[in-house]
Chain A
Amino acid sequence: MGEAEFLFLLTGLKWTVLLSLVGFIGGGVFGLAVALLRTSGIAPLERGTASYIALFQGTPLLMQLFVVYYGLALIGLKLDAWVAVAIGFTLHASAYLGEIWRGSIEAVPKGQTEAAKALSLHYLSRMKDVILPQAIRISLPATVGFLVQLIKGTSLAAIVGFTELTRAGNIISNQTFKPLLVFGIVGILYFLICWPLSLYGAHLERRMATASR
C-alpha cells in the first residue's frame, strides 16, 4: 500500500468525520425538539414521540438507511447519496438523542420546575434558563457515548454506496489484495477518533458519580 492509497483512506476519513458531524448537529437540533415534545405533558405528542423513538431503537440502523435512501427516491426526490445518508443519520440521531435528553430533563428535580412556575417564568424561559442547563450537564456522558456510537454507525453508509472510510477501505483492499493491512489501518483510524471521546465520556461519568455522592 503506497502513499496514494493512504491519502485515499484519509479522504474517506474526512467524509466519515463530516457525516458524523452533520448527523450529530442535525440530530441534536431535532433531538431537542423530540425531547421537549416527549416531556411536554400533552398526551398525543408524548405518545407520538415515544413511538418515533421506539421505531428507531427497535430497528437496525442499516434498515433505517435503506428505507430513507429508497423512500426519498420514491417520493420523487432525486438526491445525492451524500444528502440521503445525511438525512438518514440525522433522523437516527434525533431519536436516540431525544431519548437520552428526555431522561436528563426528567432527572432534573421536580422542585426546579415548581420553583420556576412559582416565579411565574413562562415555558420558554423555564426550559432555557432553569431546566435545560441542568439537564445538559446530566446528559453529557450519555451524549458523548452516543457520538461514539454514531461515528461507528457511519461505517454502514458504505453498504448504501457512500464512500466514507470503510468503503474507501473496501476499494483499496480490492485494489491491493491486502485486506488485513487495509482494514487494520481503517480500524486504527476509527479507534483514534473514538477512543479519546470514550475516555472523555468515562471521565465525565466518574466526575458526576463523585459529585453526586
Chain B
Amino acid sequence: MNYKLDFTPVIEGMPQLLLACLGTFGLALGGMALAIVIGIGGVILRDSRVAALRWLVKGFVELVRNTPFLVQIFFIYFALPLAGVRLDPTPTAIIALGINGGAYAIEIIRGGVQSIGKGQIEAGLALGLHKAQVFRLIVLKPALRAIFPSLTSQFVLLTLTTSVCSAISAYELTSVAQRIESDSFRSFEVYGTITLFYLIISWVMMRFFAAISQRYFSYPVK
C-alpha cells in the first residue's frame, strides 16, 4: 500500500464544510416542518367522509413509501418548472424532503391518534373535564407520547437523507464535500471526514430527542 492519506484539502475546506452543516441542518428543519404539516393534514383527510380524499391520501402514502427518494427529488425538480414554479435547488430539496417525510408522518401520527381509546375520552368527560382539557390531557399528550419515538427516529433518517439532495446540487454538506473532492481528488479523506460529521449530527439529534422524551413523556402509564 503506497498511498499516503493527505487531509490538507479537508483542513483547508473545513470552514466551508462546517458552514455546510448549517445548510444540512436547514434542509432537515425545513423538511421536518413541512412533513409535520403534511402529516397532520393527511391524517385529517385520511379519515374524511369523502371517499375520494381518503383514497388520495392512501395512494400518496403508498406511492411515496414505495419509490426511492432520489427518483422523487428528480421528478419534483423537473416537475416544478413545468407547473410554472421556478425555485432554486435548495427550496426544491426542502419540498421533496417534506413530501417524503410527510408520507411517513401520516402513518405514524395516525397510529398515535388511533391508540387513544374512545372510553378514555368518555371517562374524561364523565369526570367533569372541559372539552379543551380532555383534548389536551387525554388526547394530545398521550398521542404525542405514542408517536414521539417513531416520529423522531424518522426525523433522524430524514436528516441523513438530506445527503441525497446533493444530486440536484442543493446547498448542504455532501454537495460542498463533492466540490472539495473534485478539486483535490482526495475522495476518501473528504468523504470519510463528513461521514464522521453525519455521525455526530445524528448522535446529537438522538440525544436531544431522548432528553425531550425524558423531560415531558416519562410518567407512568399504569
Residues of A at under 8 Å CB distance from B? 55, 57-64, 66-67, 70-71, 73-76, 148, 152-156, 158-159, 166, 169-170, 173, 179-180, 183-184, 186-187, 190-191, 194-195, 198
Residues of A contacting B194 in the complex (Cβ-Cβ under 8 angstroms): 63
Let me know if A180 and B79 touch, CB within 8 A.
yes
Known: A60-B161, A195-B62. A169 touches B71 (CB 8 A): yes
| Cross-chain contact of B163 among A60, A74, A195 (Cβ < 8 A) | A60
| Chain B at the A interface: SS class | helix
CB distance from B156 to the nearest CB of A (A): 8
Known A-B contacts: A156-B70, A183-B78. Give 13 more (CB < 8 A). Answer: A59-B195, A63-B174, A64-B195, A67-B191, A148-B66, A154-B68, A170-B74, A180-B79, A183-B71, A184-B75, A190-B67, A190-B68, A198-B65
Let me know if B1 and A186 touch, CB within 8 A.
no
User: Within B153-167, which residues are at the interface with A (CB < 8 Å)?
Assistant: 160-164, 166-167
Let me know if A194 and B67 touch, CB within 8 A.
yes
Bound: A170/B69 CA distance, A: 14
| Chain A at the B interface: SS class | helix
| Cross-chain contact of A66 among B71, B79, B187 (Cβ < 8 A) | B187
Let me know if A67 and B68 touch, CB within 8 A.
no
CB distance from B23 to the nearest CB of A (A): 14
Let me know if B202 and A59 touch, CB within 8 A.
yes
Bound: A187/B72 CA distance, A: 8
Let me know if A179 and B74 touch, CB within 8 A.
yes
Let me know if B69 and A183 touch, CB within 8 A.
no
B198 on interface, CB distance cutoff 8 Å: yes
Let me know if A187 and B67 touch, CB within 8 A.
yes
Let me know if B188 and A63 touch, CB within 8 A.
no
Residues of B contacting A155 in the complex (Cβ-Cβ under 8 angstroms): 68-71
User: Within B64-100, which residues are at the interface with A (CB < 8 Å)?
Assistant: 65-72, 74-75, 78-79, 82
CB distance from A146 to the nearest CB of B (A): 13
Residues of A contacting B163 in the complex (Cβ-Cβ under 8 angstroms): 60, 62-63
Let me know if B199 and A59 touch, CB within 8 A.
yes
Let me know if A58 and B199 touch, CB within 8 A.
yes
B211 on interface, CB distance cutoff 8 Å: no
